[in-house]
Amino acid sequence: MSTKTETNEFQAEVKQLLDIVIHSLYTERDIFLRELISNSADALEKFRHQQLLEEDVFDPDASLEININFDDKEHTLTITDSGIGMTREELVENLGTIAHSGSKNFFKAMSETNRKDVNLIGQFGVGFYAAFMVAKKVRVLSRSYKKDADGWEWSSDGAGSYTISAADGLHRGTKIILDLNDDSHKYADEFTIKNIIEQYSSFVPFPIKVKGDKVNTVQAVWIRSKNEIKEEEYTEFYKFIANAADDPLLRLHFSVDAPLAIKALLFVPQENFEILGFGRQDPGVSLYCRKVLIDQHSENILPDWLRFLKGVVDSEDLPLNISRQALQDNMLVTKLKKVITSRFLKFLAETAKNDAESYEKFWKNFGIYLKEGATQDFTHRDSIAKLLRFESSKSEPGKLISLEDYVERMDDKQKEIYYINGPSRDALESGPYLEAFKQHDLEILYAMEPIDDFVFSHLGEFDGRKLLSADRADLHLPETGKEDKDKKDETKELDKPVADSLLKWMKEVLGDKVKEVNKSERLVDSPAMIVNPDGYMTSSMERIMRATNQDHPVSAKNMEINLGHKLISGVADMRIKDEEFAKSMIEQIYDNAMIQAGLLIEPRSMVSRTYEIMERALKAE
Ligand code: ADP
């Protein structure tokens, strides 16, 4: 064995890389530990594999683990593994040249962007060389698993060359000793080290011990097969990753091999903190590649509207050192996103079918996200539509139905799906919009959240049937043959010439406030209602747009008049006796109809007008 120390120059690319690593002001230097631990874990994995192939290995009984020690007086940090180790040639090849994945990609990106962007370091990880971000000197003591190999020490200050000399008495594996540089002394600290390990390396499949204390106690349950995992293990894992105190509401654990290899474990929490007023949630699912964290709370692997999910997605098809920017437009990631989203939606559909109670709970707290998805996500729109739930005129109060339920019990003659927005079931049922539906015995969905009309308008249709708001001006309800003829007696209506003149006069009285005043085919009990001539805009949508933007133009509405209503024939009579008072009446009817449409009116003139009308009523006594 040679006893002399040999000095070698680094390959030119390594020199460049080291120069960037050492002189950059990169702030997230913590990742150096993730890189070294990953290398150790790989080396342990390789050894485990090799041991199956070759019986005769060095130190066969050394336990497979990673040990981390530090000395806060000497400012050193030591990472030791009992992995496969490196021979002299391997040390030269692996640590003196760039032939391997991570650093190579880093270089490619550096030359492509042609800029010295220090943040690229964090995004790529530069593997072993990251050690030089925190160390002024790095020593690598390694002894290969091969029975007759020798031990070697590799050492460098990162300045252009490294030395190699023989080292005796080593165990199998690799020990990396970092002489921390002056502004990195904080890494010789138990709390700091444990924190970094917890963040990045919690699920490394070998024990990581800091001064003998095992830090990674939570197992990467997602890679194990479902039937081997106990309920408590899932719960413990969930609490760890979601920082939660209670059990999850729902859980989905699955793996697929095609189109790419994915193992995922997703949880729906019990509570929705967004509706509880905690502000917008950050995504809660992290991306791993073979148990090593790539992107924590990733924005790339799930659509924004699934931000309430907690969990882990692991794909070995992704390169470990992929950058966050690269994640955004990576084809694999796009595929990943689609596969996971579809699978989760399928799971929700199964839950709705097999465990209605859980689904109801889910819907109550998280339904709003699916509605958000329906308005944003074209790809998954149809699957989301099936998961939506609403009350309806034919559901019991508080009970929800799906669009499929609705379609299933539709009358043969009915071709379209109807809905109406309002603040509550009571408000909707006492308003004018439902009258015709009751009259025709048609079911109508109750949209009781502001977003609902946007959802319906984005969906456009369900199962080939148009979704129509009941406040559309052009709505024509089908004759079902179940109409209550007594309730709507058309012979009581005003004669056509009287009616035509009345409608024309009403339009004059209301002026620009309405676009048209028309005879209603639908009203039964109310004298009038407001409808929207623009089929895409409902009164509820308009209310929201105006609430968020004061300058939103008020679109002109139509008013429909129930010509069989007593109050309307009363207005016609009053017009002859006292036109001014008849005007007040029609203005009040308009304001009332606007209130029932949920649209803002100007209260001052309305209040004085109602007093006027009341005084008049008293006089008539
Ligand atoms: P990468 O891990 O992306 O290949 P690194 O610069 O981190 O790049 O490491 C270069 C090579 O050095 C690794 O591929 C591996 O062969 C070897 N190596 C690094 N650390 C260890 C270790 N602890 N044990 C054995 N081999 C190692």
The tally of domains found in the chain comes to 4
Q: How far is the CA of 41 from the centre of ligand 1 (A)?
A: 10
Q: 1 pLDDT exceeds 90?
A: no
pLDDT value of position 102: 58
Give one DSSP letter per residue of 528-560, joined into a string: EEEEBSSTT--HHHHHHHHHH-TTPPPPPEEEE
Q: How far is the CA of 347 from the centre of ligand 1 (A)?
A: 40
> Same domain for 306 and 455?
no
> Same domain for 107 and 133?
yes
Domain end position, chosen among 166, 199, 214: 214
**Strand intervals (E) in 257-405:** 262-268, 284-289, 292-295, 310-314, 391-392
Residue 270 makes CB contacts below 8 A (sequence gap 6+) with 246, 247, 248, 249, 365
Residue 378, in any domain of the structure: no
Confidence class of residue 473 from pLDDT cuts 50, 70 and 90?
very high
> Same domain for 56 and 185?
yes
Residue bearing the bigger pLDDT, 330 or 189: 189
Residue 337, in any domain of the structure: yes
| Index of the ligand 1 atom closest to the CA of residue 126 | 6
Residue 90, in any domain of the structure: yes
Q: How far apart are the first and last CA of the chain?
A: 123
Reduce the DSSP state of residue 466 to 3 states and report it.
Answer: strand
What integer is the mean pLDDT of 195-224?
90
> Same domain for 101 and 209?
yes
pLDDT value of position 101: 56
Q: 94 pLDDT exceeds 80?
A: yes
pLDDT value of position 536: 78
Confidence class of residue 17 from pLDDT cuts 50, 70 and 90?
confident
> Same domain for 435 and 475?
yes
Instruction: Indicate which CATH number applies to the domain containing 414.
Output: 3.40.50.11260
**Strand intervals (E) in 13-150:** 66-71, 76-81, 135-143
Q: For a pLDDT cut of 90, what percent of the chain falls above it? A: 67
pLDDT value of position 202: 84
What integer is the mean pLDDT of 528-549?
87
CA distance 65 to 205: 9
Helix axes 496-510, 566-577, angle to 10 degrees: 80
Q: 27 pLDDT exceeds 70?
A: no
> Same domain for 358 and 422?
no
CA distance 568 to 586: 9
> Which amino acid, 564?
G
Domain end position, chosen among 485, 513, 542: 485
CA distance 357 to 400: 12
Token look-up 């990753």 returns 241
Instruction: Indicate which CATH number applies to the domain containing 522.
Output: 1.20.120.790
Q: How far is the CA of 128 from the centre of ligand 1 (A)?
A: 6
pLDDT value of position 114: 52
Predicted confidence (pLDDT) per residue in 71-84, tens digit? 999 999 999 999 99
Best probe residue, ligand 1, of 78, 100, 201 (max atoms within 8 Å of C-beta): 100
pLDDT value of position 308: 96
> Same domain for 541 and 437?
no
Residue bearing the bigger pLDDT, 602 or 334: 334
- Give nearest CA residue, ligand 1 atom 16: 94
> Same domain for 600 and 516?
yes
Domain end position, chosen among 182, 214, 246: 214
How many Cβ atoms sit within 10 Å of the Cβ of residue 500? 12
Residue 240, in any domain of the structure: yes
Alpha carbon distances (Å) from 363 to 7, 279, 348, 428? 67, 19, 10, 22
In sign, the C-alpha dihedral spanning 586, 587, 588, 594 is positive
> Which amino acid, 519?
K
Q: What SS3 string covers 475-528?
A: CCCCCCCCCCCCCCCHHHCCCHHHHHHHHHHHHHHHHHHEEEEEECCCCCCCCE
CA distance 125 to 123: 6
> Same domain for 325 and 401?
no
CA distance 528 to 522: 10
When mean pLDDT is compared across 98-107, 253-262, 373-382, 567-576, the lowest value belongs to 98-107
Backbone angles phi, psi at 55, to 5 degrees: -75, -35
Residue 384, in any domain of the structure: no
> Same domain for 210 and 131?
yes
Q: What is the mean pLDDT of the chain?
A: 90
> Which amino acid, 586?
I
Partners of 153 in beta bridges: 141, 165
Residue 379, in any domain of the structure: no
Residue 527, in any domain of the structure: yes
Ligand 1 is surrounded, with C-beta below 6 A, by: 35, 39-40, 43, 81, 83-86, 94-95, 100-103, 127-129, 174
Give one DSSP letter per residue of 198-221, joined into a string: HHHHTT-SS-EEETTEE---S--G
Best probe residue, ligand 1, of 39, 78, 208 (max atoms within 8 Å of C-beta): 39
Q: How far is the CA of 275 from the centre of ligand 1 (A)?
A: 47
> Same domain for 22 and 137?
yes
pLDDT value of position 397: 95
Q: 304 pLDDT exceeds 90?
A: yes
> Same domain for 587 and 471?
no
Residues listed for the chain: 621
Encoding tokens for residue 176? 């990396």
pLDDT value of position 234: 94
Q: How far is the CA of 66 from the centre of ligand 1 (A)?
A: 15
Q: 70 pLDDT exceeds 90?
A: yes
Instruction: Indicate which CATH number applies to the domain containing 132.
Output: 3.30.565.10
Predicted confidence (pLDDT) per residue in 154-187, tens digit? 999 999 999 999 999 999 999 999 999 999 999 9
Looking at mean pLDDT, say which of 44-48, 239-243, 276-280 comes out highest.
44-48
Does the reported pTM lie above 0.85? no
Instruction: Indicate which CATH number applies to the domain containing 262.
Output: 3.30.230.80
When mean pLDDT is compared across 115-124, 128-137, 334-343, 398-407, the lowest value belongs to 115-124
Residue 375, in any domain of the structure: no
What integer is the mean pLDDT of 380-394?
97
Task: Name the strands in the sheet holding 213-214, side by side, starting at the edge strand that comes first in the sequence.
Answer: 6-9, 161-166, 151-156, 135-143, 173-180, 76-81, 66-71, 208-210, 213-214
What integer is the mean pLDDT of 432-452?
95
Check: CB of residue 522 under 8 Å from CB of residue 559.
no
Domain holding 454, by residue range, is: 389-485
CA distance 108 to 98: 12
CA distance 575 to 583: 8
